[in-house]
Amino acid sequence: MYLVDANVILRYLTEDDKKKADACEKLLERAVDGKEKLFISDMVIAEIIWVLEKIYKYEKDAIRFRIEKILNTPNLIFQNKNLLEESISLYEEANIDFIDAYHIILMRENNIEEIYSYDTDFDRVPQIKRKEP
């Protein structure tokens, strides 16, 4: 099994380097065919989202589409696919940072309703109570 770094998925999604994009597509095809075991961590997905948003200036709906494409690729192994799926939905729907969305879903999964934070993005989600220290 191999861990796949964010730059591999980014080359595939952005096709900004055709030769590398083709090589990355072939790697993913080998995984789909069961010839490669590929693991993608939550942090890799977070990095991909950050780069697509901040460097490539993609809109959230375009980012969500691309991330869901990766999450739905057969035979890829994810650290926590359900958490990522819910986080990417909340990221777009609540118009908040992905890491904030990830933490909100993580809080829900662990029955945590309050957070200490100065980040007012958390106020956009009614189920979360934000407090400042």
Backbone angles phi, psi at 131, to 5 degrees: -125, 145
Averaged pLDDT for residues 64-90: 97
* 93 and 70 both lie in a single domain: no
Q: Give 62's pLDDT tier (boundaries 50, 70, 90).
A: very high
Q: Which domain holds residue 88?
A: 81-133
DSSP for 85-103, written as a single string? HHHHHHHHHTT--HHHHHH
- If one counts the domains in the chain, the total is 2
Residue 5 in marked binding region = yes
* 56 and 71 both lie in a single domain: yes
Residue 33 in marked binding region = no
CA dist 62 and 86 (Å) reads 16
Cβ count near 99 (within 10 Å): 15
Please tell me what DSSP assigns to residue 5. P
- pLDDT for 64 equals 98
**Final residue belonging to a domain, choices 55, 79, 103:** 79
69 CA to centre of own chain: 11
In this prediction the pTM is 0.92
* 18 and 47 both lie in a single domain: yes
Query: Is there a contact between 130 and 122 (Cβ–Cβ < 8 Å)?
Result: yes
- pLDDT for 47 equals 99
* 67 and 90 both lie in a single domain: no
CA dist 38 and 77 (Å) reads 6
* 32 and 71 both lie in a single domain: yes
* 67 and 11 both lie in a single domain: yes
* 102 and 127 both lie in a single domain: yes
